[in-house]
Amino acid sequence: MNKNIIWLSLVMLIVLLISACGGATPTEAPAEEVVETEAPAEPDEPPPAAEGPFRVAVVMPSPINDLAFSQSIYDALAAIESEMGADNFEFDFSEGMFVVDDAAAALRDYASEGYNLVIAHGSQYGGSLQEIAPDFPETSFAWGTTVDTFTEQGINNVYAYEARSEQGGYVNGVIAASLSESGVLGVVGPIETGDAKLYVDGFVAGAQATKSDVDVNVNYIGSFSDVALASAAAETHVQAGADQLTGTAQMVVGAIGVAEESGVGWFGTQANQSSLAPDVVVANQVYDWTVVLDEIISNVKAGTMGGEAFELTFANGGLLMEYNPDFDLPADVKALADETVAGFVDGSIMVGDAPPPPPAEEAEPVTFGMILVGPKNDRGWSQAHNEGGVFVEEHLDGARMIVFESLNPGDKPEATLEGVVDDMVAEGATLIFTTSDEFEEDTLGAAEKYPDVTFINISGDDAWEEGEDFKAPSNLGNIMGKMEDMKAIAGCAAALQTETGKLGYVGPLINHETKRLAASAYLGARYCYDEFRGLNPDDLEFTVTWIGFWFNIPGVTLDPTEVTNNFLDSGADVILSGIDTTEGIDVTGQRAAQGAAVWSVPYDFEGACDNAPDICLGVPYFNWGPAYLETVTSVGNGTWAQSWDWNPPYWPDLTDNTQTAVGWINGPGMPAESQASLDEYIASLASEDVKVWTGPIFLQDGSEYVADGSVATDQQIWYLEQLLQGMIGPSE
C-alpha cells in the first residue's frame, strides 16, 4: 500500500508538470517577485484598456433561466448589450455558483482578467467580495442585493445595488387585500432574509394598510429549491382559507400551480409569472436592473470606481408593475394600485423599516488638528500638508480643520507641541496630525496624555510593528509617502540633463529620512546616467550639503541660497532640493536668466516649478489628501486602527491627486528626448521591472549594504545609516 502511495504521488506530479507546461500563459512572475508583494499575485494581465468594449462579468447563484433572481440580471445585461452594441459592450457570466468559495474564485479570476466591472449577484458573496476588492483597485465591483459598499472598511471600488422590493410587495399587498373576500392572504417565502424578506414585509404592510383586519399568513419553507414543499405550503394556505397568494424566490413555481388548481389569485415578484398560470396571476412586480447598471457603467467610465449604493424603485423606473392582461382586475382596484405606485414615486408612501441607503460617507463630523512645522504657504512641505487637510474638508461633510503653523524654535520659541495640542483638544479636535519628524517625541507624550484622541505623526516610525522603534500607544499612528521612488525619478532627471556630471543636493538636517531620500536620488541618477546616456556612473559627482534644518533659519542653519550658489560656482549644473522651501530653484533660475546652463529639481510642493519653469526638470511632491481623508473618515466612524502607513505612489497616474500619496510632475525645462528616457524609467519602475534599491549597494564606508541581485527591505531603506559609496557629503 505504501508503495502505491509513492507511485500515485509520482503520477500526480507528472500530471501537474505536463499541465503546467501545457497551460496557456507561462507564468512570468518569478519567485522573488511573489515574495515581495503582499497582495495576491495576479499580475498576469494589464489593467483594463481604455478603448475597446466595456467588459462586464457577473457571478450568480442560480441558473440564468430561473425566472427569478439570476434571470433578472442576465436579462438586464442582455438588454444593455443589444442597446449598446456588441462592439461597445460585452458580458460574461458564471451561473449556478451557489458554492460561495467557487463564486469567490470566479470573481477573483474575472477581476484579474481586466474586466471593467465585476458583479457579485448574491448577498451571500459579500464576505468574499470584501476580501477580493481591495486587491484589484483597478477593477470596479458591484454587489447585490445590499446597500453596503464597504466604504467604512476603506474600500472604494465597490458599488452596491438593491431592489426596494418592499415597494412592489406593498402594491401587491394592497391589491390582494382589496380582492380578498375571505380576508386571509398567504405568503410562501424561502428563508427570512434579503430580497425575500423585504418583499414579504412590504406585502404584509400593504395588505394591512388596506384592510386592517386582514390576516396575512407567512410561511418560510427553509429552502430556495424545494418546489414540492412550496406547493404544500400553498396548499396549507388555501386550506387555512387564503384566497390570494404570493411568494418569492425560484421554488414558488410549485405554489403557483396550487393557486391555479385552487382558483385563488397569485401575485408574482422578480419576474413576470403570468404565463405560468394565466387564469389566476393578478399582478407582478418586475425588476429592471438596467436602471442601476446603466448608472454604474457610466460612473465607471467616468472614472469613479465605487462607493455608491443604488436601488430599484418605482420612482426611478427600476421597479415596474406588470398586470396579467388575461386577468380581469376591477377598475377601482387597478386605480388604487396606480395610486399606490404614484405614492411611492412622489414619496408620500414610505414602507417598512427599510432605511434609505446611507450616504456614501456616514462619518460623524470630525474636527481635526493640523500642526505644521513651517508656514502653511511655504510652497513646500507644510503647504502640502495644509492642502491635504483642505482636501479632507472638501470631500467629507462636516470635517473641520484647525491649523497651527510654524511650530519651530526659530519662529515661535515660546510654543510647544503639548500646548498646541491642549488648545486643539479644547477646541474639540478628536484627531491631530503632527506633520514633522521634529514632533515625533512630543507626539508620543501627547498621545499618552490624551488616549481618546487619535494622533498621526507624519514620517515617524513609532507605530511600525516591524520597525526598530515600536513604542506608540494604540491611539498613535504614522503616515508617510513613499517618496523614495519619486526622488529616484528626480535623480534620473538630473542625470539625464547634466553636462558637467556634477549634481548638487541641498539637504536639510541629517536623519534616516533625509539620508534615504538623498541616496534614492543618487541611485536614480546612477541608473539613468548608465542606462540612457551610456556613461560611467562612477564618474558622476553627487554632492550633498546639509543646511541643518528643514528650511532656512537665519543664524541657525546654513543659508540655502548660499549653498546653491556654492554648488553652481563649483561646476554643478543641476541642483536637487531636499528642503522644504524653494531657494534651490530660485537661485538656479536667477543664474539661468543670466545665461548659465543650469537646471533644478525642487521638492515637496507640486507647484514649485512655477518659480522658474524654464529650468525646472520636474518636481517630486507629497500629496497627503487621500491618506488624510481615509484617516479622518475612519476616525469619524470609529473604524480607525493603529497602523504605520508607508503609502506608495499611484503608478498609473503620478499626478492623480485623488489617488496618489506621492507624485511627480514633469518639468517644462526638460528637453523632449530626455523626457522620453525619463518616461521610460518611470514606466519601468511602475512595472517593477526596475527597482531603485537593487543591489549591489555599498555604504560610504565601503561595506556592502545590499547584495548583488537582491532588493533592500523596507527596514534597510527606512533606517539607512550612511550615505552611499560615491556620494560626497557627511553621514553624521
Partner 1 sequence: MQAFFIRHPKVWRAFDILLPFLATLAALGVGAVMLMAFDANPVVAYGALLEGAFGSTNAIADTLVKATPLLLVALGICIAFRGGVINIGGEGQLVLGALASTLVGLTFPDMPGYLIIPLALFVGFLAGGFWGAIPGFLKAYFNVNEILSTIMMNAIAVQGMNYLLKEPMIDPVQLEAASRIPQTARLSAAFDLPRLVPTRLHLGTALAIIAAILVFIFLWRTVVGYRIRAVGMNASASRYAGINVPRNIVLALALSGAFCGLAGAIQVFGLHHRMFTDGSATGFTGSAGFNGIVVALFGQLHPLGAIPASFLFGALIVGANKLQRVMQVPASFIIALNGLVVVFVVSADYWRRRMARRREAEVVSEELISSEAEVPT
Partner 2 sequence: MIAELFTTTVLVGILASGIRLATPYLYASLGETFGQKSGVLNLGVEGIMLLGAFAAFYATFVTENIWLGLLAAIIVGGIMGLAVAVINVTLKAEQGISGIGVFLFGLGMSELLFQKTLGTVETVSGFSSIYIPFLSDIPYIGEIFFQQNLLVYVAYIMVPVSWFVLGKTTLGLKIRAVGENPEAADTLGVSVNGVRYITQIFGGIMSGIAGASLSIALLNVFQQNLTSGLGFIAVALVYFGGWRPFGVLVGSLIFSMVNALQLWVQVLNIPIPADIAVMMPYVLTILALVIAVQRVRPPSALTKPYERGG
Q: Considering the complex, what minimum distance in angstroms separates the CB of residue 490 from partner 1? A: 31
Q: Read off the amino acid at residue 432.
A: I
Q: Considering the complex, what minimum distance in angstroms separates the CB of residue 198 from partner 1? A: 6
What part of residues 584-613 is at the interface with partner 2 (CB under 8 A)? Answer: none
Q: Considering the complex, what minimum distance in angstroms separates the CB of residue 182 from partner 1? A: 30
* Grid cell of 168 as nine digits: 412592489
Q: Which stretch binds partner 1 (CB under 8 A): 252-260, 350-358, 376-384, 699-707?
A: 350-358
Q: Does 233 bind partner 2 (CB under 8 A)?
A: yes
Kindly tell me which residue out of 97, 463, 472, 616 binds partner 1, with binding defined by CB under 8 A: 97
* Grid cell of 568 as nine digits: 553652481
Q: Does 304 bind partner 2 (CB under 8 A)?
A: no
Check: CB of residue 170 under 8 Å from CB of residue 283.
no
Grouping H, G, I as helix, E, B as strand and the rest as coil, residue 368 is strand
Kindly tell me which residue out of 55, 108, 237, 385 binds partner 2, with binding defined by CB under 8 A: 237
Q: Does 362 bind partner 1 (CB under 8 A)?
A: no
What part of residues 250-279 is at the interface with partner 2 (CB under 8 A)? Answer: 250-251, 253-254, 256-257, 260-261, 275-277
- Alpha-carbon span 647 to 645, nearest angstrom: 6
Q: Considering the complex, what minimum distance in angstroms separates the CB of residue 236 from partner 2? A: 4
Q: Considering the complex, what minimum distance in angstroms separates the CB of residue 248 from partner 1? A: 13
Q: What are phi and psi of 285, to 5 degrees?
A: -90, 125
Instruction: Write the DSSP symbol of residue 689.
Output: S
Rounded to the nearest 5 percent, the helix, strand and coil shares of the chain are: 40, 20, 40
Q: Considering the complex, what minimum distance in angstroms separates the CB of residue 67 from partner 2? A: 5
Grouping H, G, I as helix, E, B as strand and the rest as coil, residue 294 is helix
* Grid cell of 389 as nine digits: 487637510
Q: Considering the complex, what minimum distance in angstroms separates the CB of residue 244 from partner 1? A: 24
Kindly tell me which residue out of 74, 133, 148, 568 binds partner 1, with binding defined by CB under 8 A: 148
Grouping H, G, I as helix, E, B as strand and the rest as coil, residue 161 is strand
User: Residue 254 touches which of partner 1, partner 2, none (CB < 5 to 8 A by kind)?
Assistant: partner 2
| 3-class SS string, 453-499 | CEEEEECCCCCCCCCCCCCCCCCEEEEEECHHHHHHHHHHHHHHHCC
Radius of gyration of the chain, Cα coordinates, nearest whole angstrom: 32
What part of residues 662-701 is at the interface with partner 2 (CB under 8 A)? Answer: none
Kindly tell me which residue out of 61, 66, 77, 700 binds partner 2, with binding defined by CB under 8 A: 66
What part of residues 442-471 is at the interface with partner 1 (CB under 8 A)? Answer: none
From first CA to last CA, the distance across the chain in angstroms is 69
Q: Does 69 bind partner 1 (CB under 8 A)?
A: no
Q: Which residues of 379-408 are buried (b: 16+ CB within 10 A; e: fewer)?
A: bbbbbbbbbbbbbbbebbeebbbbbbbbbb
Check: CB of residue 321 under 8 Å from CB of residue 284.
yes
Check: CB of residue 506 under 8 Å from CB of residue 560.
yes
Pattern 213-232, binding to partner 2, x per CB under 8 A? ----xxxxxxx-xxxxx-xx
Kindly tell me which residue out of 78, 79, 84, 147 binds partner 1, with binding defined by CB under 8 A: 147
User: Residue 257 touches which of partner 2, partner 1, none (CB < 5 to 8 A by kind)?
Assistant: partner 2
Neighbour-count burial of 32, counting CB atoms closer than 10 A to its CB (0-12 exposed, 13-18 middle, 19+ buried): exposed
What part of residues 197-236 is at the interface with partner 1 (CB under 8 A)? Answer: 197-198, 201, 222-225
Instruction: Write out the residues near partner 2 by the rule CB under 8 A.
Output: 62-63, 65-67, 71, 186, 191-192, 217-223, 225-229, 231-233, 235-237, 239-241, 250-251, 253-254, 256-257, 260-261, 275-277
